[in-house]
Chains A and B, each alone.
Chain A
Amino acid sequence: MLEAREISVSYGEREAVRGVSLSAVPGEVVCLIGPNGAGKSTLMRALNGALAPTGGEIYLDGKRLGSYARRAVSRRIAVVAQEAELRFPVTVLEFVLGGRYAWSSTGAWGWETERDVSVARSAIEETGLEDFTARLMNELSGGERQRAVLARALATEAAILLLDEPTANLDLAHQATVLRLVRARCDTQGAAAVVVTHDINLAAEFADRALLLKGGRMLASGSPREVFTPRTLGELFEIEVLVDAHPVTGAPRITPVHGSRR
Chain B
Amino acid sequence: MNAETAKAISTKATLAESARTTPKRTLLICLALALALFVVCLAASLIGSERLPVTASLCALFRDGSVCGLSPEQGAILLDLRWPRILLAASVGAALAAAGAGYQALLRNPLAEPYLLGISNGAAVGTMIALVFLGTQAWTRSLMAFAGALCATFVVYRLARGRTGASPERLILAGVIVTTFLSSAIVFITTMMDATRIRSFNFWLLGDLSGSTSSLLAIAIVSTLIGTVVLGAHGRSLNLMMLGERDAFDLGVEVERVRLIVFLAASLLVGASVAASGSVGYVGLVVPHLVRLSLGSDNRTTIPAAALAGALFVVVADTTARTVIAPRELPVGAITALIGAPLFIYLLRRG
B250: which A residues are within 8 A, CB to CB? 48, 50, 74, 78-79, 81
Among B285-330, those with CB < 8 Å from A are: 292, 296-298, 300
User: In whole angstroms, how far apart are the Cα atoms of A92 and B237 in the complex?
Assistant: 17
User: In whole angstroms, how far apart are the Cα atoms of A139 and B78 in the complex?
Assistant: 51
User: Which 7 A-B pairs rank lowest in CB-CB distance, beginning with the nearest?
Assistant: A74-B252, A102-B252, A134-B19, A93-B19, A79-B250, A71-B252, A134-B15
Beyond the given pairs A87-B165, A94-B19, A117-B20, 6 more chain A to chain B contacts, judged by CB atoms under 8 angstroms and listed by A's residue number, are A88-B104, A88-B243, A94-B298, A95-B243, A111-B300, A156-B251
Of all chain B residues, which has the CB nearest A48?
Answer: B250
Interface residues in chain A, defined as those with a beta carbon under 8 Å from any beta carbon in chain B: 48, 50, 70-71, 73-75, 78-79, 81, 84-95, 97-99, 101-102, 104, 108-112, 117, 121, 133-134, 152, 156
B297: which A residues are within 8 A, CB to CB? 88-90, 94
Q: Given contacts A101-B252, A109-B235, A109-B237, is CB(A87)–CB(B247) below 8 Å?
A: no
B109 within 8 A of A: yes
Q: Given contacts A81-B247, A109-B233, A133-B15, is CB(A98)–CB(B239) below 8 Å?
A: yes
Contact among B19, B104, B300 with A91 in the assembled complex (CB-CB below 8 Å): B19
Q: Given contacts A50-B246, A94-B298, A98-B251, is CB(A109)–CB(B15) below 8 Å?
A: no
Interface residues in chain B, defined as those with a beta carbon under 8 Å from any beta carbon in chain A: 15-16, 18-23, 104, 108-110, 164-165, 233-237, 239-240, 242-244, 246-247, 249-254, 258, 292, 296-298, 300
User: In whole angstroms, how far apart are the Cα atoms of A109 and B22 in the complex?
Assistant: 14
Is the Cβ of A97 less than 8 Å from the Cβ of B20?
Answer: yes
User: In whole angstroms, how far apart are the Cα atoms of A93 and B13 in the complex?
Assistant: 13
Q: Given contacts A92-B19, A108-B234, A133-B19, is CB(A87)–CB(B252) below 8 Å?
A: no
User: In whole angstroms, how far apart are the Cα atoms of A152 and B109 in the complex?
Assistant: 22
- 26 A-B contacts, Cβ less than 8 Å apart? A48-B250, A70-B249, A70-B252, A73-B252, A74-B250, A74-B252, A75-B252, A79-B247, A79-B250, A81-B246, A88-B104, A88-B110, A90-B239, A90-B242, A90-B243, A92-B19, A93-B19, A94-B19, A95-B243, A98-B243, A108-B234, A108-B237, A111-B22, A111-B23, A111-B236, A134-B15
User: In whole angstroms, how far apart are the Cα atoms of A48 and B20 in the complex?
Assistant: 29
**B12 to nearest A CB, angstroms?**
8
B16: which A residues are within 8 A, CB to CB? 93, 121, 133-134
Kindly name the residue among B22, B244, B249, B252 whose own CB sees the greatest number of chain A CB atoms within 10 A.
B252
- State the total of A-B contacts with C-beta under 8 angstroms: 106
Q: Given contacts A50-B246, A108-B258, A134-B19, is CB(A89)–CB(B251) below 8 Å?
A: no
Of all chain B residues, which has the CB nearest A79?
Answer: B250
Is the Cβ of B243 less than 8 Å from the Cβ of A86?
Answer: yes
**B197 to nearest A CB, angstroms?**
42
Is the Cβ of A108 less than 8 Å from the Cβ of B243?
Answer: no
Q: Given contacts A94-B297, A108-B258, is CB(A102)–CB(B251) below 8 Å?
A: yes
User: In whole angstroms, how far apart are the Cα atoms of A224 and B244 in the complex?
Assistant: 35
Is the Cβ of A108 less than 8 Å from the Cβ of B236?
Answer: yes
User: In whole angstroms, how far apart are the Cα atoms of A111 and B237 in the complex?
Assistant: 11
**A222 to nearest B CB, angstroms?**
29
A108: which B residues are within 8 A, CB to CB? 234, 236-237, 253-254, 258
B254: which A residues are within 8 A, CB to CB? 70, 108
**B233 to nearest A CB, angstroms?**
5
User: In whole angstroms, how far apart are the Cα atoms of A175 and B109 in the complex?
Assistant: 30
B235: which A residues are within 8 A, CB to CB? 109
User: In whole angstroms, how far apart are the Cα atoms of A109 and B292 in the complex?
Assistant: 20
Is the Cβ of A84 less than 8 Å from the Cβ of B164?
Answer: yes
B252: which A residues are within 8 A, CB to CB? 70-71, 73-75, 101-102
User: In whole angstroms, how far apart are the Cα atoms of A101 and B252 in the complex?
Assistant: 7
Is the Cβ of A94 less than 8 Å from the Cβ of B300?
Answer: no
**B142 to nearest A CB, angstroms?**
27
A84: which B residues are within 8 A, CB to CB? 164-165, 243-244, 246-247
Is the Cβ of B20 less than 8 Å from the Cβ of A93?
Answer: yes
User: In whole angstroms, how far apart are the Cα atoms of A134 and B20 in the complex?
Assistant: 8
A90: which B residues are within 8 A, CB to CB? 239, 242-243, 296-297
Of all chain B residues, which has the CB nearest A121?
Answer: B16
User: In whole angstroms, how far apart are the Cα atoms of A138 and B235 in the complex?
Assistant: 21
Of all chain B residues, which has the CB nearest A77?
Answer: B250
B296: which A residues are within 8 A, CB to CB? 89-91, 94
A75: which B residues are within 8 A, CB to CB? 252
